[in-house]
Amino acid sequence: MLTRLANPARFMRISGVVLVPLGLAAVAVLAIGLYLALFVAPPDYQQGESVRIMFVHVPAAWLALFAYLVVAMASALALVWKHPLAEIAAQAAAPLGAAFTFVCLVTGSLWGKPMWGTWWAWDARMTSVLVLFFLYLGYIALANAFDDMARGARAASVLALVGVVNLPIIKFSVDWWNTLHQADSVFRMGGPTIDPSMLWPLLIMGLGYLLLFKTLLLIRMRTALNEAKARALRLAASTRHPAEPVPDATPVLR
Amino acid sequence: MSSFQSWANMGGYAAFVWPAYAAAFVVLGGIAVQSWRRYRATLRDLERLQRSPRQR
């Protein structure tokens, strides 16, 4: 699957077919998820209606971690096999991961204030997720910091791989340290402890976020490939007529 | 209080629940719109380049 898709021309063909259905599925699943989250799921016996923040907060955390895995695995593929699509995938996923991490932090803060009495605490879970956010920003900055795009991509890939160490820290922070943050209640040994009436809306919101991530990932990868094609066309045109000035020869901003 | 009002009140947590949903909507919707617009821009750019190759 991965190797068959790992050809830019074939990727453009397949992603072009998949893009619209995937986007429509994302919108539909998110609509169902929001309906369940806001109207169907019951209030929590301790937290009351504030528990509804969970349905936008927890899936954002899942996607923050998942997107980082995508960035890191694509970076590894780029470093070892030097495949151009891998770098494009990593750089397309990073801003999406940063967005999900930001949503996770903001909604968590809005949940923490009424439930814990504080917007923020420097506990292990929150601090490690903040570090994840900065890793994303560092990756994006580094990838765009060099005039030579290949050099920037290589440096950013190394950073992405080093940053993988943060993922288990985030995941197990609530077990390893005493955190204000509660322990996992969905993806844990022995199965979920959360009630099904809340688990289902949560999983559907998670699926909606995942479909949104995949749709935007394809769009951003296609954008990057289009930009590369435009650069190649401009370069070819300018070498064919070297005497003529090329008005639009600046590469498209990445 | 009507049933809509009591729903919108979120058991007294409206000041936290709605900003959380709004933040998620604005950030994720924002990056979706930005991604789509940039994608459309590259399509227009490519079309322009391929239509008039000699001018470029």
User: Are A212 and B28 a contacting pair at CB < 8 A?
Assistant: yes
Using a CB-CB cut-off of 8 Å, the residues of chain B touching A50 are: 10-11, 13, 16-17
Domain boundaries, chain A: 7-183+193-224
Place B2 in a pLDDT band, splitting at 50, 70 and 90.
confident
Query: A214 CA to chain B: closest CA distance, Å?
Result: 11
Task: Render pLDDT for A111-128 as a digit per residue (tens, 0 to 9).
Answer: 999 999 999 999 999 999
Task: Render pLDDT for A35-63 as a digit per residue (tens, 0 to 9).
Answer: 999 999 999 999 999 999 999 999 999 99
- State the Cα angle at A76 between A71 and A82, rounded to 5°: 110
Mean pLDDT for chain A?
91
Task: Render pLDDT for B8-45 as a digit per residue (tens, 0 to 9).
Answer: 999 999 999 999 999 999 999 999 999 999 999 999 99
Contacts of A238 (CB under 8 A, 6+ apart): A246, A249, B56
- DSSP sequence for chain A: -HHHH-SHHHHHHHHHHHHHHHHHHHHHHHHHHHHIIIIISPPBTTTBGGGGGHHHHHHHHHHHHHHHHHHHHHHHHHHHH--HHHHHHHHHHHHHHHHHHHHHHHHHHHHHHHHHS-S----HHHHHHHHHHHHHHHHHHHHTS-SSHHHHHHHHHHHHHHGGGHHHHHHHHHHHS--SSPPPSSSSTT---S-HHHHHHHHHHHHHHHHHHHHHHHHHHHHHHHHHHHHHHHHHHHHHSTTS--TT-SPPP-
Query: A4 CA to chain B: closest CA distance, Å?
Result: 24
At A253 the pLDDT is: 52
pTM of the model: 0.91
pLDDT at B55 over 90: no
Query: A43 CA to chain B: closest CA distance, Å?
Result: 9
Using a CB-CB cut-off of 8 Å, the residues of chain B touching A31 are: none
At B56 the pLDDT is: 45
Task: Render pLDDT for A119-152 as a digit per residue (tens, 0 to 9).
Answer: 999 999 999 999 999 999 999 999 999 988 889 9
User: Are B21 and A56 a contacting pair at CB < 8 A?
Assistant: yes
